[in-house]
Amino acid sequence: MSVKTGDRYGGSFASDVWTTFVRWTIKSVRNPFVLVVSLVQPIIFLVLFTQVFGGVATSALEGVTYETYLVPAIVIQVALVAAATSGIGLVNDIENGMFEKTLVSPMNRVAVFVGKTLAEVVRIIAQVTIVLSLGVVLGAEIATGLTGAVAIAGICVLFSVWFTAFSNVLAVVTRDEESTIIGANLLQLPLLFVSSAFLPLPALPTWIQTVATFNPITYGVDATRAVMLGEDTMTVIEVTRFGGMWDTLVPALAVLVCLALAFGSVAIYAISRAASADVR
Amino acid sequence: MTEYAIEARDVAVTYADGTEAVRGVDLLVETGEFFGFLGPNGAGKTTLIKTLVTLLRPTDGTVTVNGFDAVAEPQSVRATVGYMPQETSIDPELTARENLRFACDAYGVSRAERGDRIDELLALVELTDVADKVADDFSGGMKKRLDAATALVHRPPLVFLDEPTTGLDPAARNRLWEYFQRINDEGTTVFLTTQYLEEADQLCDRLSVIQDGSVVADGTPETLKRRVGGEILDVELAEPAESERAVAVARDESLFAEGATITPTESGLTVTARDARTRGTDLLVALRDADIGVVGFDVRAPTLDDVFLAVTGERTEAAAADGGDVQAEAVSNGGDAREAAMTDDGETGAAPDADGVSR
Q: Write down the ipTM of this complex.
A: 0.79
Q: What is the pTM of this model?
A: 0.76
Q: Which residues contact B341 (CB under 8 A, 6 or more apart)?
A: B216, B217, B310, B311, B348, B349
Q: How far apart are CA A141 and CA A132, in angstroms?
A: 10
Question: Which is nearest to B39 in space by CA: B211, B260, B203?
Answer: B211
* pLDDT number for residue B322: 54
Range A147-172 average pLDDT: 93
Largest CA distance in chain B: 78
Q: Which residues contact A13 (CB under 8 A, 6 or more apart)?
A: A108, A110, A111
Nearest to A97 among B59, B89, B105 (CB): B89
CB B231 within 8 A of CB B355: no
User: pLDDT tens digits for B255-306?
Assistant: 888 878 888 888 999 888 888 888 888 899 999 999 999 999 988 887 777 7
Chain B interface includes A33 (CB < 8 A):
no
- The separation between CA B190 and the C-alpha centre of its own chain, rounded to angstroms, equals 12
Chain A interface includes B191 (CB < 8 A):
no
pLDDT band at B320 (very low <50, low <70, confident <90, very high): low
Provide the residue ranges of all domains of chain A, joining segments of one domain with +.
Answer: 13-279
What's the Cα-to-Cα distance from B9 to each of A93, B57, B64, B208, B216, rounded to whole Å? Answer: 33, 14, 9, 15, 15
> How many other C-beta atoms can be found within 10 angstroms of the C-beta atom of residue A48?
11
Chain B interface includes A103 (CB < 8 A):
yes
H/E run at residue B198: helix B197-203
Chain B interface includes A6 (CB < 8 A):
yes
Range B315-332 average pLDDT: 47
* pLDDT number for residue B321: 56
- Please say if the pLDDT value at position B334 is more than 80: no
Q: Pick the residue with more confidence: B42 or B357?
A: B42
* pLDDT number for residue B274: 83
User: pLDDT tens digits for B304-316?
Assistant: 777 777 777 766 6
Nearest to B154 among A8, A18, A96 (CB): A8
For chain B, give the mean pLDDT.
84
* pLDDT number for residue B315: 62
Range B14-23 average pLDDT: 90
Question: Which is nearest to B349 in space by CA: B207, B214, B217, B210?
Answer: B217
Count of CB pairs separated by less than 8 Å, A with B: 130
Question: Which is nearest to B259 in space by CA: B348, B323, B344?
Answer: B348
Range A51-60 average pLDDT: 73
* pLDDT number for residue A248: 93
Residue A100, min C-alpha distance to chain B (Å): 8
- Please say if the pLDDT value at position A254 is more than 90: yes
DSSP A5: P
* pLDDT number for residue A125: 92
User: pLDDT tens digits for A67-76?
Assistant: 898 999 999 9
- Please say if the pLDDT value at position B349 is more than 70: no
User: pLDDT tens digits for B124-156?
Assistant: 888 999 999 999 999 988 999 999 999 999 999
Rg (CA), chain B: 23
- Please say if the pLDDT value at position B328 is more than 80: no
* pLDDT number for residue B319: 56
Share of chain A above pLDDT 70, in %: 92
**Residue A278 to residue B14, Cβ atoms within 8 A:** no
* pLDDT number for residue B318: 57
Residue type, A233: T
H/E run at residue B295: strand B294-300
Q: Give B274's Cβ-side CA count (13 Å radius).
A: 6
Locate the DSSP E strands across B76-184: 81-84, 158-162
Question: Which is nearest to B91 in space by CA: A120, A26, A174, A105?
Answer: A26
CB A82 within 8 A of CB A126: no
pLDDT band at A65 (very low <50, low <70, confident <90, very high): confident
Q: How far apart are CA B205 and CA B198, in angstroms?
A: 13
pLDDT band at B11 (very low <50, low <70, confident <90, very high): very high
* pLDDT number for residue B257: 83
Q: Is B69 helix (H, G, I), strand (E, B) or coil?
A: strand
Sign of the Cα pseudo-torsion (A261, A266, A267, A272, in order):
positive
H/E run at residue B11: strand B4-14
B106 contacts in chain A (CB < 8 Å) = 10-11, 16, 19, 102, 105-107
CB B39 within 8 A of CB B341: no
Q: Is B116 helix (H, G, I), strand (E, B) or coil?
A: helix
* pLDDT number for residue B41: 83
* pLDDT number for residue A276: 61
B51-60, B222-231, B257-266: range with highest mean pLDDT: B51-60
Q: How far apart are CA B81 and CA B74, in angstroms?
A: 11
- Strand B81-84's sheet: what is its strand order? B81-84, B158-162, B189-193, B34-38, B206-211, B214-219
What's the Cα-to-Cα distance from A50 to each of A68, A139, B21, rounded to whole Å? Answer: 10, 10, 60
- Please say if the pLDDT value at position A99 is more than 50: yes
Q: How far apart are CA A164 and CA A172, in angstroms?
A: 12
* pLDDT number for residue A148: 94
| Pairing label, strands B158-162, B189-193 | parallel
- Please say if the pLDDT value at position B67 is more than 90: yes
Chain A interface includes B283 (CB < 8 A):
no
Chain B interface includes A277 (CB < 8 A):
yes
> How many other C-beta atoms can be found within 10 angstroms of the C-beta atom of residue A8?
16
Residue B37, min C-alpha distance to chain A (Å): 20
Q: Pick the residue with more confidence: A275 or A270?
A: A270
B124 phi/psi in degrees, rounded to 5? -60, -45
The four Cα atoms B181, B186, B187, B189 give a dihedral, to 10 degrees, of: -30
**Residue A5 to residue B59, Cβ atoms within 8 A:** no
A36-50, B47-61, B165-179, B240-254: range with highest mean pLDDT: B47-61
Nearest to B102 among A3, A23, A278 (CB): A23
Question: Which is nearest to B66 in space by CA: B147, B148, B159?
Answer: B159
Could you tell me which residues are beta bridge partners of residue B63? B8
CB B2 within 8 A of CB B66: yes
Q: Which residues contact B181 (CB under 8 A, 6 or more apart)?
A: B34, B203
* pLDDT number for residue A54: 72
Q: How far apart are CA A167 and CA A90, in angstroms?
A: 9
B179 phi/psi in degrees, rounded to 5? -60, -45
